[in-house]
Structure 1
Amino acid sequence: MTATTDLPRLLQLIWKGTRSASSLEGQMLDFKTEKGSTKETAQDLAEAAVCFANANGGLLVVGVTDNGTGPGSFVGTTSNADDIRTRIHALTEPPLVTDVAEHRHEGQRLLTIRVPQGLDVYATKKGLVTRRWNDQCLPMRPADVSRLDDERRGNDWTAQPTDRTPSDVDSDAMLRVRNLLRGTPDATRRRLAEATDVDILHALRVVTETGHLTRAGETLLCQNAKSANDEILVYQYRPTPGGEATAVRRWGTPLVLAFAEAIETISARNGITPVNTAGGQQLQVEDYPSVAVREALANALIHGDYREKRPVQVEHSPEVLTVASPGPLVSGITPRNILTSGSRARFPSLATALRTLGLAEGLGQGVDRMFREMVRSGRSVPEVKEEETQGLGTRVTFRGGPPNARITRFIADLPDTERDDTDTLLIVRMLCEQRTVTASQAADVIQRDIEATEAVLRRLSSGEAELLEPTAGTALRKKPTYRLRGGALASLGPAVKYHRRATTDVNKKVVDHVREYGTINNATVQRVFDVDVYQARDILRDFVGREILVRVSEQQRGVAVKYGPGPSFPEKRTRRRVRD
């Protein structure tokens, strides 16, 4: 959901006094008021427009105060839309084209200024270069300006030549390259593994016409690459997140060896929890799914900015694993669109080489895979953040701890198409936390627009999986409210936070059933409480443990075992007749 499409709702929140404008501002929305003069107003808006253009674009709303709530926050504006558009164009370098329009809210005249994501790096005529960072406009360092300029112009720093030649390639790194090529699914690349070193380097596109290695080739395959920091990767293991590191590894180039050894080091300390499915299959659930960790580390090494001369850092404990890389996300990608923005390399030359080796995802599915594998393992989704720590950086955080086995079993039993669908798994995870979901709520989570999200919800309510159903009161609406179907609720059981029953309610229903029919079994408990076989078993065990029920059938195992009144079965109370 964008700030533009959601603007009427946001303005209504301010008008009703529910929220202040400042609390609604974010990466792509800012509220402004007129200054003392037209000149000052235009300068202020030009600076804000530059800030948005150097990030991912955004919306300026003129005529609403930052602080305060209610109708008093709407002070309106008398500025002319065409004049503001012209002045922003004149006050920015290169000239920035914006879309300025009038907007009426409860009789108040406002202006909306839609700022596109820039194709260049923008500044004001006074030389101010800023970039939107959450709800602030922060000055850009020269290194930030250079990086953004390269990305927007398509300049690839790693494609530049070095003074290294193919003879400088590390022999162990080339051996690793050949092994990687042999393991790829593509027959052409497998045959390439038997080619000469020079032919392989040309196939990886890391050699220039003059026979020199590019920065990508040097970083990937040579020791002591000048193009990268002395340490490109640092790993620390801590028994607890705040404890002392008990294992530390540091790697320099070649990158291809550092990556492989780091994955092995993480795997050696990655615990496994066995989980049995209803079909009898045993799943080996890792503390941190190796596929997810591999993708996070590959992304950090491919997209991290080597010009920062800082290493990728991995911090590992049983509870938390983080992968931090130097530099922000690639221009145009944010934590809010990272699932659906597609693959966009900061350094195309380096990314192409790693893709050829099978170490990088070529279709923009790497981040998708991280989210999907974490949900499959019964854990929360990864957290992706941009932060300022000794310069801009990107951090991916995985939460460990015991897996939620119910979610793991449930997903393992889904049809293949849904089990491999990230949208499906994220919506299931949402509905383990909240009772219902709408397209507008789910849109932010699966990072799609509302119409596409509604299509996903409808598919899950009518497709092969039949996971969802519209609530009774909204079924006829164009965009209903959805909830999990009874079967899904039963399978997920305690994984669904709101799926709890009061002990008194369970006692009453079980006792009433036994009084009426004499016995009860597992299958009956499943039907009465809408639970699966395991939850029904636990309910019956509790009653047997309290001697409210005892086994009364000769059969000792299975859902058909019958239970009847035990020594502590409550006697039926009779009402005393009141005489007149």
Structure 2
Amino acid sequence: MKTLIPQTESLTVEFKSDRKRLPDSELVEAVVCLANAEGGELWLGVEDDGTPTGLHADHRLLAGLAGMVAARTSPSVSVAVSAVEIAGVSVACIQVPKAHGEVATQSGVYLRRRIKHDGTPECAPMLPHERTSRASSFGLVDVSAQPVAGATLADFDPLERERLRQAVKQYGGDRVLLELDDEALDGALSLTARQPDGSRLPTLTGLLLVGRETALQQLVPTHEFAFQVLAQQAVKFNEFRRYPLLKAVDWLETNFRPYNPEEELQVGLFRVPVPMVDMGAFREAVANALIHRDYHRLGAVHVRLEDDALVVSNPGGLVDGVTLANLLVTEPRPRNRALADAMKRIGVVERSGRGVDTIYRGLLKFGRPAPDYTRTDAHNVVLRLPTIPADLEFRRLVVDEERRRNAELPIDSLIALGALRELKRLTVEELAHRIQRDVASAKRTLEALTEAGFVEAHGATRGRTYMLSASVYGAVADKAAYTRQAGFSPIQHEQMVLSYVRQHGRIKRAEAMELCRLSEGQVKHLLKRLCKAGMLTLEGSGPAAHYRIGASDQMVSDQIG
């Protein structure tokens, strides 16, 4: 139960004074406002500055408040109401869940909570396009499959139809599409929607794929994209366009290539290209931004090359159910399903819907850091692809292993190798967090890499850690790093234990296991060896057993002193 009132109002906190009895209609509107955003807490009996002034006499019996809210909202919102006593003043905390769709009052009022330019919150009316946008983010409506008001078949461009067919050939798409006439193709890709009278009207998908540029500017004014090149904050390239999507992808690739230098790596008899940005990852990132953007929001898709990264951003946050914590494993949930399906069938994006894997692979296989989505918020998806120099020898190892397997390394394996390059040592739990899977999956990934000779395990089962193997460190010309990370020779383990005992007076077996990162059997052998040499003496038995400095080591210490 809540015992403290938040300090200020926010996107998820609303204060309502009840000194003059807040009308039920205003209370319900405040609930609807929160539910149509992120949910949160409605504090009844609290002033705007956070001062508790108490509940009106009519509201002190809270039992019926939740029922009143449910009866006056559509669909019904189930709130939890609790009484809170603050400095002798009674107030009510109403917990409002986030609505998975649109919520209105019974009188048809739609409101949503938002943050104003000065950082303070407000309740604002939900306009029709905002309601549709919210519904699409929850997968309740597919805007891309809907007819566009005012559009006709004359708004389709025959040249863009031909570009679509050529794209199917170029990207290896569904070749069945090549056998269809225009009307059948429109139906197969949801480019048009059949009306009750039998006529066909262009959908948003149709206009975005094969629409004339003039029609797009008039009928889909939110569609815009930009390519920008910034060099130490100086603008070298900055152009905005409103092309149909297939032409947009071609234009962006054509203009990006001069800024994407490429070197070659000789692996056996083959030359392997090593670009600054993998073009497969580039195309997937750009196409995803164009496909999954919210076409009800103003703002362009930005493709921006900075000094140390390629940044791709699009209006509209992640759809409901997709978070940064499950991005790698959640089922695809496109905001614009018809458009996404069409682009998959054409072959522009990954057919399985796991385009994020293509983006990750395009970085990790070159020894670069993983893609960075941390700047993503509720209004924009922001993807950052680091462009630091590739590790050529690491790339050689990956190519050799994939040729040996006759298959690509699994994406989880690449993530594990990337994490080990960054952290040096890794536990199963740490990898599970990185790959967004359970511990058993992470363990299988590490064991497979161990069998392949990429990784070595160190320590006991409970405290086991993993690091890159000597062969990997040797291949990337960093043998000294392997020696530092692999731990210590038996003699160094002895010195660590003796130093610990001199500092702390004694050591237990478990402490020695943690200190040296050895298994119980290895530590038992080490301590037995030190006792036999007279350097340690065992005292006690069972759980109380511990080791102290032995006679011979004490004599050496006395001589040094």
Tell me if TM exceeds 0.5. yes
Among 234, 238, 258, which residue is 2:248 paired with?
Answer: 258
The amino acid that maps onto 1:430 is A
Structure 1 position 58, deviation (Å): 10
Residue 195 (str. 1) matches residue 180 (str. 2): yes
Q: Matched residues in 2 for 1:336 and 1:424: separation?
A: 18
Residue 428 (str. 1) matches residue 414 (str. 2): no
Q: CA RMSD in A?
A: 4.9
Q: 1:129: which partner in 2?
A: 112
Structure 1 position 228, deviation (Å): 2.2
Check whether the contact 1:343–1:362 (CA below 8 A) recurs between aligned residues. no
Q: 1:171: which partner in 2?
A: 158
Check whether the contact 2:32–2:103 (CA below 8 A) recurs between aligned residues. no
Q: How many equivalent residue pairs?
A: 434
Structure 1 position 248, deviation (Å): 3.4
Q: Matched residues in 2 for 1:275 and 1:340: separation?
A: 32
Q: Deviations over 1:8-61 (max 9, x none)?
A: xxxxxxxxxxxxxx9xxxx9xx999xx999x99xx99x9899868855x999xx
Q: Structure 2 unaligned segments of length 5 or more: list them.
A: 1-5, 42-62, 83-93, 489-561
Residue 486 (str. 1) matches residue 469 (str. 2): yes
Cα distance 1:260–1:362, how it changes in 2: closer, same or farther (>3 A)?
A: same
Q: What is the 5 A alignment of 1:274-285?
A: 274-277=264-267, 279=268, 281-285=270-274
Structure 1 position 281, deviation (Å): 4.3
Q: What is the 5 A alignment of 1:344-359?
A: 344-359=333-348
Q: 2:312: which partner in 1?
A: 323
Cα distance 1:421–1:144, how it changes in 2: closer, same or farther (>3 A)?
A: farther
Give secondary structure in 1 for the equivalent of 2:382.
Answer: strand
Cα distance 1:144–1:412, how it changes in 2: closer, same or farther (>3 A)?
A: farther
Q: What is the 5 A alignment of 1:441-456?
A: 441-448=430-437, 452-456=438-442
Structure 1 position 351, deviation (Å): 1.7
Q: Deviations over 1:458-506 (max 9, x none)?
A: 3422564254444313x2x3xx53312534543464679964759xx9x
Q: Matched residues in 1 for 2:338 and 2:264: separation?
A: 41
Cα distance 1:231–1:127, how it changes in 2: closer, same or farther (>3 A)?
A: closer
Check whether the contact 1:227–1:307 (CA below 8 A) recurs between aligned residues. no
Q: Deviations over 1:168-207 (max 9, x none)?
A: 3223211111112234646xx4243243322322222211
Structure 1 position 270, deviation (Å): 1.0
TM-score normalised over the length of structure 2: 0.63
Q: Matched residues in 2 for 1:204 and 1:311: separation?
A: 25
Q: What is the 5 A alignment of 1:439-518?
A: 439-448=428-437, 452-462=438-448, 464-473=451-460, 475=461, 477=462, 480-487=463-470, 489-491=472-474, 493=476, 499=482
Give secondary structure in 2 for the equivalent of 1:237.
Answer: strand
Cα distance 1:207–1:292, how it changes in 2: closer, same or farther (>3 A)?
A: same
Q: Matched residues in 2 for 1:58 and 1:453: separation?
A: 33
Residue 207 (str. 1) matches residue 192 (str. 2): yes
The amino acid that maps onto 2:249 is F
Residue 408 (str. 1) matches residue 395 (str. 2): yes
Structure 1 position 400, deviation (Å): 0.9
Q: What is the 5 A alignment of 1:108-119?
A: 118-119=99-100
Q: 1:395: which partner in 2?
A: 382
Give secondary structure in 1 for the equivalent of 2:234.
Answer: coil
Check whether the contact 1:433–1:498 (CA below 8 A) recurs between aligned residues. no
Check whether the contact 1:100–1:114 (CA below 8 A) recurs between aligned residues. yes
Q: Percent identity?
A: 23
Check whether the contact 1:372–1:420 (CA below 8 A) recurs between aligned residues. no
Q: 1:242: which partner in 2?
A: 233
Cα distance 1:89–1:166, how it changes in 2: closer, same or farther (>3 A)?
A: closer
Give secondary structure in 2 for the equivalent of 1:120.
Answer: coil
The amino acid that maps onto 1:366 is G
Q: 1:232: which partner in 2?
A: 224
Q: Structure 1 unaligned segments of length 5 or more: list them.
A: 1-21, 60-81, 102-112, 506-580
Q: What is the 5 A alignment of 1:75-90?
A: none
Q: Matched residues in 1 for 2:97 and 2:457: separation?
A: 37
The amino acid that maps onto 1:456 is A
Q: Matched residues in 2 for 1:168 and 1:368: separation?
A: 36
Structure 1 position 404, deviation (Å): 2.1
